[in-house]
Amino acid sequence: MSSRYHNSEVMLDRALKSIPLGSQTFSKSITQLPLGAAPFFARHAKGSRLWDVDDNEYLDFVGGLCAINLGYGDPDVNSAVRTQLEDGVIFTLAHPLEHQVAELIIDMVPCAEMVRFGKNGSDATSGAIRVARAFTKRDRVAVCGYHGWQDWYIGSTSCNLGVPEATSALTYTFPYNDSAALDSLLSKHSGEFAAVIMEPMNITAPLPNYLAEVKDITHRHGAVLIFDETITGFRYGNGGAQALFGVTPDLATFGKGMANGFPVSAVAGRADIMSLMEKVFFSFTFGGETLSLAAAQATLLKLQRTNATDVMASHGQMIQDGLRKQITSHGLDNTLSVAGHPTWSFLVMKDTQPYTTFDIKTLYLQEMFKRGILTIGTHNMSYAHTKDDVSLLLRACDETFSVLKDATENKCLHDKLTCPVLKPLFKVR
Ligand SMILES: Cc1ncc(COP(=O)(O)O)c(C=O)c1O
C-alpha cells in the first residue's frame, strides 16, 4: 500500500466490496487510475483545486470529466442553488426555471428553437435519437464519437455486454473527417437512416467544409443531423462547436458544463422536430429538478456576462503551445503530441518500442499525480484556471517528460513504475 494514497486505497478496498468497480463512473474507477500511484477519492474542491482523502492537493485538469467549466464551487452558482434550496427542489407542478433556462439556451445556441431537459448526457442523446426516429419513421443511426451508456449507442462499441444484437444491428459507426465514408454508409441502406449523430469535434479538428458536407449528406439522405455537444457545448464558446464552426445541426445535445457540475442535460433543436416530443415519451421524475436548473441559469448567465470561454481558450492555448515546445525539446515527438480544442485538449500518446501506449500513460499519470496535477491525459479547462496554474502544469509536464524520455530511451520504464500498468480499454475517441 502506498503511503501517499493510503486513505484512498483503504477506501477503495471497502468500496469494491459494496460497489461494482468501486465507483459510479467508469473513468473514475480502477480501470483508468493506476492502483498504487493514484488517488481514488476526493474530499473537496474549490476553483481549480481538488483535495483527496489523504489531504493531497491537486491542480485539477479533469474537472469532473468536463462537467466543471466555471470552476469548482463557483460562488454565483452556489448562491443561486442555495437560494433555490430554500424554495424547494422538486414540486408537484412544473417550475418557471424550466422555461427560463430553455429561453437562455435558445438565446445562446444557433440550432435551439425548443429545449427539453434530462439529467445525464445519455438522456439527451437518447432522447434526440428517439425523436429523430419518430420524425423520419426510420430506425438506423450513424454514430461518430462517444454518446453515452444507452443500448442504442454502447451496442456499437466493444463494451456491448448485455445489449441485444437486434439493437446493436441498427447502429453504424463512421470515421471522422471522411465525408465519402458517411455518404457510402448512408447509401448502403438508402432511405433507412433516421439520424447521423456525432461529436462535432473531439481530438481532431474538422477539415475545412467537413461539417457542412456532413450536414449536406445527412439531409440528402433524409436523415436528421444531431451534434452531440455534451462536452463542446458552453465550452468551445457560448454557442458551442456549432457556432464556432458555423454549421447548424437539426438537433444538439448538451450536458456536462451547462450547470457547472450540477446534473442536468438538454436536447435542443428545430421546433418542427422538437415539438414531436409531445408524443415521443421523454419524461423523468427529476427532469425539472430546480437546484440543477438554478445552477444552469447561473452558469449560462455568467457565461453571457463574462468572457469565460475566451479565457479558457487562451489559457488552454498556452498549454498547447508550451507542451508542443517541451515535447520537441525532450525529443519525444515520436511518443507524444498535442491535439484538440484549447478548452479540451489531449496529450496523445503513441506506442514507442518496446512500450505500449498503456505503459507510457501509466508512467505519465504516476508522475503527474505525484507532482499534484490531476489529469487523465486531457486538459479540461475551467474559467478558474489562472496563468499561474498553466505554469505549474507546464513545470510538472517538463519534469514528467524527462522521466518519460529516460524511461523510453534507456528501456527502464517498468523499473520506474510503482503500480501495475493500466489495461487496454474500451476506446471510442
Ligand atoms: C460527447 C458525449 N456524449 C454523451 C456523453 C454521455 O454523458 P453522460 O455520461 O452524462 O450520460 C458523454 C460523456 O462523457 C460525452 O462525452
Q: Rounded distance, CA 284 to CA 158, Å?
A: 29
Tens-digit pLDDT profile for residues 209-268 = 999 999 999 999 999 999 999 999 999 999 999 999 999 999 999 999 999 999 999 999
In a domain, 70, yes or no: no
Report the pLDDT value the prediction gives residue 167, as an integer from 0 to 100.
98
Residues 367 and 321 in one domain: yes
Decide whether any atom of ligand 1 lies within 6 Å of the 148 Cβ: yes
Q: Do residues 264 and 369 both lie within one domain? A: no
428 within domain boundaries: no
**What is the bridge-based pairing of β-strands 57-60 and 49-52?**
antiparallel
Looking at the structure, do residues 152 and 218 belong to the same domain, yes or no? Answer: yes
- pLDDT above 90 for 2: no
Q: What is the pLDDT of residues 12-50, one digit of tens each?
A: 999 999 999 999 999 999 999 999 999 999 999 999 999
> Is a pLDDT exceeding 80 seen at residue 1?
no
Same domain, 267 and 321: no
Q: Residues 86-92: contacts with CB within 8 Å, 24+ apart?
A: 87/290, 88/290, 89/289, 89/290, 89/291, 90/285, 90/286, 90/288, 90/289, 90/290, 91/290
- Residue 24 pLDDT: 96
Give dist(CA 62, CA 97) in Å, integer. Answer: 29
pLDDT at residue number 145 = 97
Q: Which residue's CA is the nearest one to ligand 1's atom 14? A: 148
Query: Does the Cβ of 183 fall within 6 Å of ligand 1?
Result: no
pLDDT in tens, 45-88: 999 999 999 999 999 999 999 999 999 999 999 999 999 999 99
Domain CATH for 33:
3.90.1150.10
Domain boundary among 262, 279, 305: 305
Q: Does the beta carbon of 200 lie inside 6 Å of ligand 1?
A: no
Give the residue-averaged pLDDT of 345-360.
97
Pair (255, 383) in one structural domain = no
User: Is residue 180 included in any domain, yes or no?
Assistant: yes
pLDDT at position 272 over 80: yes
User: Last residue of some domain: 283, 305, 327?
Assistant: 305
Do 247 and 180 have their domain in common? yes
Whether residue 325 sits in one domain with residue 204: no
Question: Would residue 97 count as lying in a domain?
Answer: yes
pLDDT grade, residue 361 (50/70/90)? very high
Percent of the chain with pLDDT over 70: 100
Residue 201 lies in a domain: yes
Mean pLDDT (whole number) for 280-308: 97
pLDDT at 148 over 90: yes
Q: Judge whether residue 426 has pLDDT over 90.
A: no
Q: How far apart are CA 102 and CA 271, in angstroms?
A: 13
Domain that holds residue 319: 6-61+308-416
User: In the Cβ-directed half-sphere of 189, how many Cα atoms lie within 13 Å?
Assistant: 16
| Best residue for ligand 1 mutational test, from 32, 69, 125 (most atoms within 8 Å of Cβ) | 125
Do residues 146 and 429 touch, judged by C-beta distance below 8 A? yes
- Which domain CATH number covers 218? 3.40.640.10
The rounded mean pLDDT for the chain is: 97
pLDDT-derived band of residue 427, with 50, 70 and 90 as boundaries?
confident
Looking at the fold, whether 329 and 406 belong to one and the same domain comes out as yes
- Ligand 1 centroid to 306 CA: how many Å? 26
Mean pLDDT value across residues 328-357:
98
How close is the Cα of 353 to the center of ligand 1, in Å? 33
The answer to whether residue 128 sits within a structural domain is: yes
DSSP strand pairing (114-118 vs 171-173): unpaired
The finding on whether 382 has its CB within 6 A of some atom of ligand 1 is: no
Residue 12 lies in a domain: yes
pLDDT at 111 over 80: yes
Question: 330 vs 335, 347, 352, 353, CA distance in Å?
Answer: 11, 15, 15, 17
Judge residue 345's burial from the number of C-beta atoms within 10 Å of its C-beta, 0-12 exposed, 13-18 middle, 19 or more buried: buried
Instruction: Read off the C-alpha cell for 189.
Output: 441502406
- Can you tell me the distance from the alpha carbon of 282 to that of 134, in angstroms, rounded to the nearest whole number? 12
414 pLDDT higher than 90: yes
Whose Cα sits closest to atom 4 in ligand 1? 147
Averaged pLDDT, 344-364:
97
Residues 380 and 290 in one domain: no
Whether residue 355 sits in one domain with residue 256: no
Examine the domain organization and report whether 179 and 146 are in the same domain. Answer: yes
Provide CB contacts within 8 A for 34, sequence distance 6+. Answer: 362, 365, 366, 417, 419, 420, 421, 422
Q: Is 257 in the pocket of ligand 1 (CB under 6 A)?
A: no
Q: Cell 449507442: give the residue.
A: 153
Cα 336 to ligand 1 centre (Å): 26
Number of domains in the chain: 2
pLDDT tens-digit map of 137-147: 999 999 999 99
What interhelical angle do 357-370 and 387-409 show, nearest 10? 130
Q: What is the pLDDT of residues 163-209, one digit of tens each?
A: 999 999 999 999 999 999 999 999 999 999 999 999 999 999 999 99
Residue 362 in domain: yes
Mean pLDDT for 384-409 is 98
> Of the candidates 254, 287, 305, which is a domain's last residue?
305
Whose alpha carbon is nearest atom 13 of ligand 1? 148
